[in-house]
Amino acid sequence: MNPSPPPFDPARWLDELMRTSTSPWPLADATLQAWQQGLAQVNAFWTAALMPTDAAATDRRFAADPWQQDPRFASMSQAYLRFATLMQQSVDKAPLDARSKAQCAFMLRQVVDAMSPANCLATNPEAMQAVLDSGGASLLEGARLFMADVAKGRISMSADQAFEVGRNLATTPGSVVFENELMQLIQYAPTTAKVHQRPLLIVPPCINKYYILDLQPENSLVAYAVAQGHSVFLVSWRNVTAEQGHLGWDDYVEQGVLQAVSVTQRIGRSKRLNTLGFCIGGTLLASALAVAAARGESPAASLTLLTTLLDFSDTGELGLMVDPQMVAAREASIGQGGLLRGRELAQVFAALRANDLIWPYVVNSYLKGQAPPAFDLLHWNGDDTNLPGPMYCWYLRQTYLENRLREPGGTLQCGVRVDLSRIDAPAFVYASREDHIVPWHSAYASTRLLRGDTRFVLGASGHIAGVINPPAKRKRHHWTGPLAADAPAWLDAAQRVEGSWWPAWSEWLQGHAGKQVAPPRKAGNAAFPVIEPAPGRYVNTPAA
């Protein structure tokens, strides 16, 4: 009878690997020594931290054949995952309040993710095989890609030269019909014989370029809305420089959203508009409509909110970074003037999903020498946008820190007390189930703040991929159903529908878009002549 094999000992295994290794790189030896020392300290816990033997196979970092077929690297990945589990368990058991525990878990995850053996050449069998197969060329190419990214100040996620705004991104035909210090307003050319009487005004997020809603023709929400017979207008926010560093939240509401509403009304010859806001664009739009309501105006025939927060009670991991000390420090540094650099915001968002948005690109580019492929969404993700310091600080304090926007009269905006319940318009509220920026149950909370008849739809996937889901792709699914007391109760009763949520939104919007009329013969009017073709200058201004 064959004796049972001895239990795996990571420290002993690394000893043997070090003794037999012929690696010529000091970095490899140092890395293996670090692993030996670290794993030896926790080796006593391995037998207690049982994990299914195929755990690494379900982790994308270790799913490739070299990790699974070589027992040395299979054991290493298993040991790492056990270690990660133990660290998480230690936080779960810590005598801390819920917020402090969540903060510790977030910071620990950054460290543990960085420690993955996949992130180092000496402990990544795929990267080492690439070195052998290429005769070392992968190392040279990885070094070149690394230096190129150092020069750019960011990790490349997409082939930079593959896309250009106005050439193969943001190509839906249109014209800039208005501009001010803060934004340009684009009017898109109709493509149907008749259009709906009421225009559709879209307010994208100001923390990114607008063309996330107009990527390539096959996945453009703008092009889709135009094809459904809507006269579409869209705000293109300026990528602000130091000259605009004095602008505040009220400027974005007044000079941005409300100015766009006014111009759209006059060009579209309609007092009432359909309106759509995405992410912080939705927060700005709702604020602007509440300001208008306080002034006795009701310009919105409908309101669509895509992955938008109005109630900031639960902001997920992003909210863990906001506390009174952090906000006070920001107010002291840029609250009276200055810029929040777009690169800083991008790094924060990437840190929320480091294993999706940081480490895969480090491994593929720098360790394997593989340049990232062309991907329009990730190209947009790397197109940074600055924010004025006063605007950013107001937003941080009034929403993430003090959650005043949900309170009737809780914020003073443009000289009036804002009450979201005064927005008298039917609403379509969309959320993404795996959204790490706007938790879907927090988006659902908007349904309790708005007075008009409200419909809630939940899509699969995340903050961006869930929204940009054209019907022709036949991907993902969504849930729909009548409103309930809270988000879990809504989901329990909701119906799952295969495919994109866009058709459901289009059908809903048509009910608020008015009768069919002849499309305008040209963009703009006598008061607002065409300034330049879309996509306009503002979207092409790089972050300074």
- Alpha carbon dihedral 113, 116, 122, 127, in 10-degree steps, equals -80
Contact 444, 428 (CB under 8 A): no
Select from 210, 278, 263, 281 the least CA-distant residue to 531.
Answer: 263
User: What does residue 513 show for φ and ψ, rounded to 5 degrees?
Assistant: -100, -5
Contact 228, 507 (CB under 8 A): no
- Give residue 481's pLDDT: 96
Select from 312, 499, 470 the least CA-distant residue to 399.
Answer: 312
Contact 191, 217 (CB under 8 A): no
- Give residue 32's pLDDT: 47
Rg (CA), the chain: 26
Q: Which residues contact 3 (CB under 8 A, 6 or more apart)?
A: none
E-assigned strand segments in 485-528 = 495-498, 516-517
- Give residue 348's pLDDT: 87
User: What does DSSP say about strands 200-203 and 495-498: parallel, antiparallel, or unpaired?
Assistant: unpaired
- pLDDT tens figures, 193-239: 999 999 999 999 999 999 999 999 999 999 999 999 999 999 999 99
- pLDDT tens figures, 304-344: 999 999 999 999 999 988 999 999 999 999 999 999 998 88
Kind plus residue range of the DSSP H or E element containing 306: strand 300-306
DSSP letters for 121-156: GGG-HHHHHHHHHHTTHHHHHHHHHHHHHHHHTS--
Tokens at 339, concatenated: 């810029």
Count Cβ atoms within 10 A of the Cβ of residue 310 and give its class: 0-12 exposed, 13-18 middle, 19 or more buried: buried
Catalytic center residues: 279
- Give residue 266's pLDDT: 98
Any bridge partners for residue 479, and if so which? 458, 496
What number does CATH give the domain 174-341+384-540? Answer: 3.40.50.1820
User: What does residue 275 show for φ and ψ, rounded to 5 degrees?
Assistant: -130, 145
Distances (CA, A) of 182 to 72, 398, 455, 482: 57, 22, 32, 39
What residue ranges of the chain are covered by domains with CATH 3.40.50.1820?
174-341+384-540
Percent helix, strand and coil across the chain, each rounded to 5?
A: 50, 15, 40
Contact 236, 183 (CB under 8 A): yes
DSSP letters for 315-352: -HHHHTT--HHHHHHHHHHHTTS-EE-HHHHHHHHHHH
Any bridge partners for residue 416, and if so which? 413
| Calpha distance 279→438 (Å, rounded) | 8
| Calpha distance 299→309 (Å, rounded) | 21
Query: Tell me, what DSSP letter sits at residue 383?
Result: S
- Give residue 25's pLDDT: 41
Peptide bond into 95 cis (omega under 30): no
Q: In the chain, which stretches have pLDDT less than 50?
A: 1-32, 34-36, 38, 41-53
Contact 218, 472 (CB under 8 A): yes
